[in-house]
Amino acid sequence: MKFIAFNAREDEQQYFEAWEKKNGVQVDMVEEAIDSTSINQTVGYDGVLALQTGVFPEKMFDKLSKNGVKVFAIRNVGVDNLDLEAAKKNGIKVTNVPAYSPNAIAEFSVTQLMQLLRNTTIFRRKVAEHDFRWAPFVGKELRSLTVGVIGTGRIGRAAIDIYLGFGAKVIAYDVYPNPELVQEGLYVSSYDELFAQADVITMHMPATPKDHHLINADTIAKMKKGVYIINTARGSLINTPDLIKAIKDGQVAGAALDTYENESPLFNHDLRGKELEDKTFSELLELDNVLVTPHVAFYTETAVKNMVFIALDSAKSVCEKGHADTLVI
Ligand code: COI
């Protein structure tokens, strides 16, 4: 048995090596993403590990199958960018890492909201310019706000716990309500109800075709004036031009975007000194009350370690037993 890991970063290396040593299974690391050229390196490997937000299309699974790969193990949770039917058709098992650290993402989303509420990036910029005045950037306290959490899986629940700890009022919406939270009376019964009541909307759900551009001009119009929007989930949940317009109009007071609908050519790439071709994205970067981060909510030591270990354990389990707890398909 041997595995090849694409998109392998230097901060993951120690974990790949430790697992390899402990399990006596060869794991080869490749820095590049898996694409139509790099995929040729998968011949002779039983398992392929990957971590990228770009698409894993049908032809990729056709090729992996021809190359004899049995298992495709992603080191992250979201599977919206994989053609799972193509994997199934080709007899390739797919595993993910459903819970590498829900807190990593929840904590990051709260961090970003708090920066927006207290205008810290604006004050940083002003201080750098030697402008030490306060007004008009008066902040807001979490305990004076209603936070609307969309998606109450592991990450959403971790976010709810943190917000409750800060004394915020929390409401939640999920198409699949969690019985414990139903008992706590946190759920509202529709998106519209959440939009009407929330001062902050924070998204923690997977991307499905039904929720594509959930945040758009029509839904933003149903929100409170001055709402804050936090997205550490998937870029496709937001119609970006509509959000930009609402921020410029003052309907949305601020947004923290760790994901962006066309992020894969941008995030985790070194584009220093290069002009950005994506004009919508450039427009976002110019807004003082928008915090853009390059899909790093997950990026903690705990998460990275779990992503590597759990993905490798899953791949090994599929090779040895034909099954893994983290099997997606
Ligand atoms: C996920 O786990 O799905 C993430 O969004 C993390 C990212 C590195 C792909």
What domains are defined for the chain? 2-100+300-321 (3.40.50.720), 102-292 (3.40.50.720)
Structure tokens at 48: 């392929």
* Terminal CA-CA length for the chain: 21
Pocket test residue of 53, 75, 296 for ligand 1, highest count of atoms within 8 A of CB? 53
Question: What ipTM did this prediction achieve?
Answer: 0.97
Q: Read off the amino acid at residue 120.
A: T
Pocket test residue of 204, 298, 306 for ligand 1, highest count of atoms within 8 A of CB? 298
In this prediction, residue 112 carries a pLDDT of: 98
Q: Using alpha carbons only, how large is the chain's radius of gyration in Å?
A: 21
Active-site entry in 180, 263, 272, 275: 263
Q: What is the pTM of this model?
A: 0.96
Closest ligand 1 atom, residue 259 Cα = 5
In this prediction, residue 18 carries a pLDDT of: 98
189: number of Cβ within 10 Å: 9
Query: Measuring from each residue's beta carbon to the nearest atom of ligand 1, which residues come in under 6 Å?
Result: 51, 53, 76-78, 295, 298
Place of tokens 């207290």: 118
Structure tokens at 325: 């707890």
- Asked if 154 is an active-site residue, the reply is no
Q: Whose CA is nearest to atom 3 of ligand 1?
A: 78
In this prediction, residue 262 carries a pLDDT of: 97
Residue 151: which region, alpha, beta or left (left: phi > 0; alpha: psi -120 to 50)? left
In this prediction, residue 177 carries a pLDDT of: 96
Q: Whose CA is nearest to atom 6 of ligand 1?
A: 76
In this prediction, residue 279 carries a pLDDT of: 98
* Spans of the chain below 50 pLDDT: none
Place of tokens 């459903």: 98
- Asked if 295 is an active-site residue, the reply is yes
Structure tokens at 130: 């030697």
Edge-first strand listing for the sheet containing 146-150 = 169-173, 146-150, 200-203, 227-231, 252-257, 290-292
Active-site entry in 154, 204, 234, 261: 234
In this prediction, residue 47 carries a pLDDT of: 98
In this prediction, residue 147 carries a pLDDT of: 98
Distance 61 CA to ligand 1 centre (A): 20
In this prediction, residue 95 carries a pLDDT of: 98
- Asked if 234 is an active-site residue, the reply is yes
In this prediction, residue 62 carries a pLDDT of: 98
